[in-house]
Every structure is written in structure tokens, then in C-alpha cells.
Amino acid sequence: MSISTPQNPPLAAALIIIATVFIAATTLLAKALGTDALGEALHPMQVSQGRFLFAFISISMVVAALRFKLQRPAWRLHIGRTSCGWLGITLMFASVAHIPLADATAIAFLNPVFGMLLAIPLLSERVGPWRWGAAGVALVGAMILLRPTPDSFQPAALLALSAAMIMGLELIFIKKLAGRERPLQVLWFNNALGMAIATVAVLPVWQMPSLAQWGALAALGTLMACAQACFVNGMARADASFVAPFSYATLIFATLYDFLGFGVVPDVVTVVGAGVILTGAAVLAWREGRQKPKAVTDITA
């Protein structure tokens, strides 16, 4: 069921930018948890489990406060979407422990490109020259960031690339869920199932976090829930072609946080590769916005 929402482009842009602040912060926390910054490094699966656990708690509090009534979900779509989301975010968290946040974040922006490519066999969509061109540009940027030479190649960048591919598949499930269920219900089931999957997966590698790590895990999950809420509500209040470019601010904040938290300064390869990926992603977002206007929904409905 889709609920109409008044359009407000300035508010939409503000919400998307706020979401990018939160998302970049979660990658910083994941990096701190995956290194020895807060104690003995936690396994990426444990970081992912904490993300889903505390996001679920946060969203459940919203559901209870709003007395939101959950309807019967499309279980197969939810399980497919959440499985891809869990694996994608786990690989992303694993990558940021070894490569700069800017590199990992830029590579993650390939997920709409992979989503487009996967839509051909899975959704029987046709891809025109504009989409192919945008995808090609973005993939060239990814190759630049991967630094494919024996002396500079970063194997951990392949984790970020794999994460982008899997999150591209997640977009297919999200597209199938769109219009079937209210956004708040989608978020609740996503985090509930994610918590269940992550909890089972983490059992062999779980270790007792330090007090600081517990705090970071709680902050990571809560910030991710806030980011999801801001992003969905932002998308509801303006055309996708308008709001999509604002999501690229994630790269700016990730770079800033990495510099402030770990003293990492982006090199020329990072700047060039990220710029090429963002160009391709921006063209794709612009074209998609022109082709298919986005139906609007509200997370609080």
C-alpha cells in the first residue's frame, strides 16, 4: 500500500544529506571496531550483527511509539533482500578495516550499476545506450580504485566490489517490494530478519566486546536506523533524479571522518577513481529519474 506524501525538494535534500552523515559515521565506527582502535578487533560478522541488533531495537521502539500495525509480509522477498543486505554490509565492514573509507565508499556506489545489470535477466528490463554508457564509466572508475598493478593492488578492495555487487542484487528485491508494503514495515522486517541471520552466523566467531565496543556497536546500529529513516523519507519528498546526487555526499563525509579519525589523506588515485564512479552514477541516476518517476511513500505511514 502506497501513501501519498507532499513534495518538498529542499527538505528532501536536507534529509538525504543528513542520511549521508549517518551512513559515513557507520563506516567509521565499523573501521574502528574492525581494527584495534577500541580494543581487540572484532570480526566483520560481529560488527554486522551489532548493526542489525541495535537497528532492530531502534526501529522497534518507533513501531511501538507509533502503534504501527504490521501486515502479512512477502516472506520470500524479505528473506532474499535481507540475506543480500547482510552479506553486502558484512563485506563492506570487512573492507573498511583494510582500505581507506573513501575508496570503499566510492566502490560501494557501484551497487546501482550492478542493480541495473542484474535487472536485465531478473526483471526482463531493457538497457539503452545511456545506461550502458553510465555503467561503463562507473566500472572504469572502479578499476582505477582497485589499482590493478602488482605494486599497488589492494586485495581488500575486492571485498568492497563484492559488497557492491551483492547490494546491487538487493536492489532487485527492494524493487519487487516497492509498493507492496509500507516502508516502516519493510525496515522492521529487514532488520528483524537481518538480526536473526547475523546472530546465527556470528556464533563461531563471537567474542565479548569491550565497553567502548559495545557503545560503538549501539551507535552504529542506531545511526544506521536513523540513516534509513532519513533516506526513505527524503526519497518520498522529491524525484529520484533530484535527490540521488545528494547521496554522494557520503563520500565527502567518509573522507573527512577517515582523516579526523585515522589521519588518512586521499591520494590522487582515490580522487580520480571516485570522481569517475560518481560521474557514472550521477548520469545513471539522472537518466533513471527521467525515464521512470518514483512513486512516493512515507516511512511513518
Identify residue 170 by its one-letter amino acid code: E
Cell (9 digits) for 170: 538487493
Q: Are 247 and 20 in contact (CB under 8 A)?
A: yes
DSSP for 40-107, please give it: SPPPHHHHHHHHHHHHHHHHHHHHHHHTPPPPPP-HHHHHHHHHHHHHHHHHHHHHHTTS-HHHHHHH
Model pLDDT, residue 50: 97
Q: Which letter, b or e, does each residue of 173-206 get, where b requires 16 or more Cβ atoms within 10 Å of its Cβ? A: bbbbbeeebbbbbbbbbbbbbbbebbeebbeeee
Q: Count how many Cα atoms sit within 13 Å of the Cα of residue 171 in the half-sphere of its side chain.
A: 20
Cα 90 from Cα 283, distance rounded (Å):
28
N residues, the chain: 301
Q: Count how many Cα atoms sit within 13 Å of the Cα of residue 132 in the half-sphere of its side chain.
A: 6
Start-to-end CA distance of the chain, whole Å, equals: 10
Phi and psi dihedrals of 193, rounded to 5?
-70, -40
Model pLDDT, residue 215: 97
Q: Are 48 and 191 in contact (CB under 8 A)?
A: no
Query: Taking the CA atoms of the chain, what radius of gyration do you get in angstroms?
Result: 18
Q: Count how many Cα atoms sit within 13 Å of the Cα of residue 289 in the half-sphere of its side chain.
A: 15
Q: Which residues contact 226 (CB under 8 A, 6 or more apart)?
A: 19, 22, 58
Read off the pLDDT of residues 91-129 as tens digits, 9 standing for 90 and up.
999 999 998 888 888 888 788 778 878 888 887 877 778
Model pLDDT, residue 140: 85
Q: Are 103 and 160 in contact (CB under 8 A)?
A: yes
Read off the pLDDT of residues 48-62 as tens digits, 9 standing for 90 and up.
999 999 999 999 999
Model pLDDT, residue 5: 63
pTM: 0.82
Give the chain's residues under pLDDT 70.
1-5, 148-152, 178-179, 239-242, 244-245, 285, 287-301
Q: How far is CA 119 from CA 38, 124, 264, 296, in A?
A: 41, 6, 37, 21
Model pLDDT, residue 62: 93
Domain ranges of the chain: 9-291
Model pLDDT, residue 299: 36
Cell (9 digits) for 123: 526483471
Cell (9 digits) for 50: 551489532
Identify residue 169 by its one-letter amino acid code: L
**How far is residue 47 CA from its own chain's centroid?**
15
Cα 192 from Cα 55, distance rounded (Å):
9
